[in-house]
Structure 1
Amino acid sequence: MLQRLTLLLGLLLPLISHAAPKADYWAMWDAHNPDSQATFTHHSWQVLLDKYLQSQGQHTLFNYAAVTDDDKATLNHYIDMLTARDPRTLTKDEQYAYWVNLYNAATVKLIIENYPVSSITKLGGLFSFGPWDDDVVSVAGEPLTLNDIEHRILRPLWPDPRTHYAVNCASLGCPDLQPQAFQADTLDTQLEQAAYAFINSDKGVAKQGDRWVLSSIYDWFQADFGGDTQSVIAHINQYRDTALPKDARIDYDYDWDLNQPRD
């Protein structure tokens, strides 16, 4: 019986891993105050990024193993500060920075709480591929999962494909956790930089023999990049130093190993 269950899980998990959620509009969060003067500095989050992000090859990695108890408390305080505020009282740009930083900080917190772990996909329930459907925060009295933030708030309310370069899933294959906390007054510049960096890295686009290997985000979320392969190529070529051929033979790949420094 146990062997059959193990075999079944082995067959199901690869399917689950490629089942990306669709953007699912959640009307509750579709409100903002264009006249708001409120801002967040995200200073505490920036302090942690400055302290624990490390460049290694083409990756920017987070040194989860080195996080001190004091900095764990700083991270918890930062998340508590964000979730104590109703983002619907903010401008749209302040909201976007709020949600992206909250997503990334909550993901880092999940890894730290469960460290050591080889991959974020090891977290979650027995039949889960990762923790994305687990409640991680509560905002305005509403429990939220990471999937809620990304797929029910960010993607439908800001239909910008560059969001995929902003949120980080603690994996080597993911666009890097950005070294600067997102800020409302620099969003476009930061998103452009994130898109350029990923697309010009091997984990975004790589040539292997006569084929091109693209990140699986261009497969899973093809609808966000125009809906077909040619639209994906056109998006990539907006940023790529060496253009991807329109007739490129394409495969997809993604590395779920944890984005931590290697010896």
Structure 2
Amino acid sequence: MIFRLILASALAALSSPAFAQDDLHAPWGEILDAYLSRGPDGVNRFDYAKLRETPADRQTLESYIAALEATDPDSLAPDARYAFWANLYNAATVRLIVDEAPERSIRQIRPHPFAIGPWGMELVTVDGEALSLDDIEHAILREEYEAALVHYAVNCASIGCPNLQPEPWRAETLQADLEAAAREYVNHPRGVSVTGDGLVVSRIYRWYREDFGGSEAGVIEHLLRFAEPGLNEEIRANPQITGHEYDWSLNRPVNEPE
């Protein structure tokens, strides 16, 4: 009953003409501020266990997702719509991990024995349509926007993924923030590592090669776009991809017991 009253109040506030779109994502910012931290390895870690044990903040997350579900994304300007979908994807993923509590990896959450993970599960309902994480990422974001940068916007709760950012995506700073996230990942070893034989890169650049030019040369061009000067020089010296890696371990705090 208390939850319904709080949710009704939140939705009423959202219906106000004076309600700013930035305010829509304020609760998600509060969750990120409270539970996301920078790991010593440069990977942003989310404390799912702590959120799981904090009913008030779990309710905040539920209310936030419900508020997004009650919003018509087609009424938003393009950058605001991008922020809407990317934030919804990330919030729904966090809720999924909190609810299901996998021990090691998001891929342990399987709706059926043949599933490779939870990405096909319908987790949210927007404008009357039940949607999965795959729907949001592949049928909406990658279709409507620059597909390469979408991979830096959505987070799959894994070490190998580009960081879950410490602030919600915002329309006003969207392009700059996406490019900053891309630079952060490309210049981290899980994005690109230079070896004596060439480059070991994230499997993202193999799984979604079509988003990065459709070829190894296209991937190299993308990496050079965001590589800092030192790494840029090393890539140019031997622009050959010799391997792909990805760590599916949960992006939880390093001191959290398994």
**Taking structure 1 as the reference length, what is the TM-score of the superposition?**
0.83
CA drift at 1:116: 4.5
Structure-1 separation of matches of 2:126 and 2:103: 28
Q: 1:103 maps to what in 2?
A: 89
CA drift at 1:251: 0.6
1:121 aligns with 2:107: yes
Deviates most, 249-258 or 195-204: 249-258
- How big is the alpha-carbon RMSD for the aligned residues of Structure 1 and Structure 2? 1.3
Listed as ranges, the matches of 1:207-246 within 5 Å are 207-241=194-228, 242-243=231-232, 244-245=235-236
Q: Indicate if the aligned counterparts of 2:72 and 2:126 stay in contact, CA closer than 8 A.
A: yes
CA drift at 1:164: 0.5
1:194 aligns with 2:186: no
Structure 2 alignment gaps of length 5 or more: 1-18
Structure 1 alignment gaps of length 5 or more: 1-36
Structure-2 separation of matches of 1:145 and 1:137: 7
CA drift at 1:208: 3.4
1:152 aligns with 2:139: yes
Pick from 231, 250, 257 the counterpart of residue 258 of structure 1. 250
Deviates most, 200-209 or 245-254: 245-254
Q: 1:63 maps to what in 2?
A: 47
CA drift at 1:117: 2.4
One-letter amino acid matched to 1:97: A
List structure 1 segments (4+ residues) > 6 angstroms apart after TM superposition. none
One-letter amino acid matched to 2:74: R
Higher helix share: 2
Residues 160-208 of structure 1: CA distance to partner in whole angstroms, max 9, x if unpaired?
4111011000000000101110011110111011001000001000123
Structure-2 separation of matches of 1:233 and 1:249: 8
Structure-2 separation of matches of 1:247 and 1:226: 15
Identity of aligned residues (%): 44
One-letter amino acid matched to 2:21: T
Pick from 93, 96, 99 the counterpart of residue 79 of structure 2. 93
**Taking structure 2 as the reference length, what is the TM-score of the superposition?**
0.85
Q: Indicate if the aligned counterparts of 1:172 and 1:256 stay in contact, CA closer than 8 A.
A: yes
Pick from 21, 29, 32 the counterpart of residue 49 of structure 1. 32
Q: Indicate if the aligned counterparts of 2:199 and 2:239 stay in contact, CA closer than 8 A.
A: no
SS at match of 2:183: helix
Q: Indicate if the aligned counterparts of 2:197 and 2:242 stay in contact, CA closer than 8 A.
A: no
Structure-1 separation of matches of 2:146 and 2:224: 19
One-letter amino acid matched to 2:37: Q
CA drift at 1:87: 0.6
Q: 1:39 maps to what in 2?
A: 21
Structure-1 separation of matches of 2:84 and 2:136: 11
